[in-house]
Amino acid sequence: MIIVTGATGKLGRRTIERLLDRFPADHLGVSVRDPRKAQDLADRGVRVRQGDFDDPASLVHSFEGAEQLLLVSLDRTGEECVTGHRAAIDAAVKAKVGRILYTSQMGAAHDSRFQACRDHARTEDLLRATGLPWTALRNGFYTASALLFLESARHTGDIALPADGPVAWTGHDDLAEATAAILADEGRFEGPTPPLTGAAALDFDAVAEIATRATGRPFTRAVVPDDAFRDLALAHGAPAPIADLMLSIFAAARNGEFTATDPTLAELIGREPATFHTLLEHAWAA
């Protein structure tokens, strides 16, 4: 059985749908904090069990019988994130899971400027220490994050953000399809995968040009000093840790941590990944 955590989230939900294209429903299970949100999956024959990262015993139960476990990384940062991942990994060991696949990120490293990448590196260390077979999916940076940064510019045409560097923005749908392909070919990757990315790394200067072509309206890129960006984020209600986290993305991009592109994602899904232009058009048409 393949068990997926976070199956009501953006990546987990897409992945379980792609797995249902490949496996019978009774071969799949999900571990979710609120089973009511996965009722439609239960209705289709997927095993649904309650699993809470803050309740390790519930995770052992929800992971029971897993030949493979897809551990979707938590939407937390720092020690809170790593503690939750440790609880899940310990539960997987107790449940005698056959293999753990973890949604890591390109640029995962202990010395990354981006807190989440440091959390991913620590989690990969925990996986390595289990002695179990494991795979770290080094996912490209989600295009959805770039679109969030562009939300105000969508209406004004002014992309006012800190100095950045090229990022291999990558779509959730392509990553979910690749994840399902890796789960279907158990053992294809031991340890970290190559970067699972789109074909191009783009900075926000290039994004401004793409937005202009996609909409037929002019978009301009202006560099905002880090301190001014942080102050603006705080003024708009962002907690200080979130403002600092956002800034760290730009610091890591300037450091070249997200520039790598690799053909592995295209090979896994059998086509070129969706371009930033396509994903922006789709999102802004909604």
Q: Is the pLDDT of residue 188 over 90?
A: no
Q: Determine the pLDDT at residue 49.
A: 97
**Separation between Cα atoms, residue 70 and residue 48, nearest integer Å:** 14
Q: How many CA atoms lie within 13 A of 65 on its CB side?
A: 13
**Separation between Cα atoms, residue 177 and residue 173, nearest integer Å:** 6
- Note the pTM of the prediction, 2 decimals: 0.95
Residue ranges of domains in the chain, CATH in brackets:
2-138+172-196 (3.40.50.720)
**Separation between Cα atoms, residue 214 and residue 241, nearest integer Å:** 34
- Please answer whether residues 133 and 68 qualify as being in contact, where contact means their C-beta atoms are separated by less than 8 angstroms: no
Q: Determine the pLDDT at residue 276.
A: 97
Average pLDDT over residues 138-147: 96
Q: Determine the pLDDT at residue 231.
A: 94
Average pLDDT over residues 62-90: 95
**Separation between Cα atoms, residue 24 and residue 227, nearest integer Å:** 52
Mean pLDDT of the chain: 96
Q: Determine the pLDDT at residue 285.
A: 87
Q: Determine the pLDDT at residue 124.
A: 98
- Please answer whether residues 63 and 53 qualify as being in contact, where contact means their C-beta atoms are separated by less than 8 angstroms: no
Q: Is the pLDDT of residue 201 over 90?
A: yes
